[in-house]
Structure 1
């Protein structure tokens, strides 16, 4: 099975791109959604997060997101420890998910492939980029965040330039019709590659 990574900075529109691939019958695995689900459901993760962040990590059995966000934002060591708890669980879930798929390739959408040096886990990596103003307005609309908070997040993320250098494909996601055309071209390129492998 060919594994394709789909990544990009905050507000680049990874979900828009993922949906275009979904329309082409390509199975999509959203790593962030799975991580959230596991944090809410897994007893092992709950126990470990409570040990890391304290008894207030969960309130009425629901993850205390503001507490975790403030601790992670102020101390990167917390983020590292939290990722060490969650990422292996997501990885093993993804492996099981892949085994159930019957398509020629699958896509795993993950925000931080390069930051964690996980390139080797993918046959191809697609990076989604977009105009900075477009990215900021998307996130303001989606998360109701302030412009300055979003700019801080973007500054803390790996730059598009660095991601582009490490990617097999790049999608500029400023115009929906154009984005869809780019997705179709990449889809055809991947299928061509798979056909070559089979021959």
Structure 2
């Protein structure tokens, strides 16, 4: 079973594309959602986070997301420390999930797939792109974030140009019918190239 990475910058439409693959019956693992869940349910991971950030990291056993965000937002070192404990837990969870799937390929969706080196564990990678102005509009509508907040978050992600060099496929997500058609075409390619 092949692992197909799915990534793209904030607001590119990764979730939309992931849902189109799900509609085609492809198992999809959303790494960011898994990470959020594991930070609240995996006791070993929780104790590592407390040892890094202190007791304020949790409120009654639930991750204090605002506190953690404030800690890592302007500290690349603290962000790296958090990622260094969360990513291995997510990788292990993904392997357990993957072993339960019965499909020619699975999708592993992660926002910072390239930045975190996760693409090295994928057989192929799909990059979802959209024009920057469109992405900013989508993020503002979704998160009600200011332009300054969005730009600060975008700084932590690689440019599409840099990602394109490592991706095997690109889905340009500007309008939904076109995006859905690109997903269907790619699904056919992935199924047919998997038959050896």
Q: How does the TM-score come out when normalised to structure 1?
A: 0.95
Distance in 1 (alpha carbons) for counterparts of 2:120 and 2:79:
22
Structure 2, unmatched stretches of 5+, are none
C-alpha deviation, 1:25, in angstroms: 0.3
1:88-147 deviation digits (Å, cap 9, x = unpaired):
111111101111101111000011121122322111100001111221121112212112
Structure 1, unmatched stretches of 5+, are none
Distance in 2 (alpha carbons) for counterparts of 1:57 and 1:185:
44
Distance in 1 (alpha carbons) for counterparts of 2:18 and 2:107:
8
**1:84 and 2:84 correspond:** yes
**1:118 and 2:118 correspond:** yes
Give the stretch that moved more between structures: 56-65 or 29-38: 56-65
Q: Which residue is equivalent to 1:95?
A: 95
Give the alignment of 1:6-21 within 5 angstroms.
6-21=6-21
RMSD: 1.0
Q: Secondary structure at the match of 1:100?
A: coil
Q: Secondary structure at the match of 2:194?
A: helix
Q: Which residue is equivalent to 1:127?
A: 127
**1:104 and 2:104 correspond:** yes
Give the stretch that moved more between structures: 138-147 or 125-134: 138-147
Distance in 2 (alpha carbons) for counterparts of 1:27 and 1:59:
33
Q: How many residues align?
A: 196
Distance in 1 (alpha carbons) for counterparts of 2:182 and 2:153:
27
Distance in 1 (alpha carbons) for counterparts of 2:117 and 2:86:
16
Q: Which residue is equivalent to 1:52?
A: 52
Q: Which residue is equivalent to 2:188?
A: 188
Q: Which residue is equivalent to 1:2?
A: 2
Distance in 2 (alpha carbons) for counterparts of 1:60 and 1:171:
42
Larger helix fraction of residues = 1
Q: Which residue is equivalent to 1:178?
A: 178
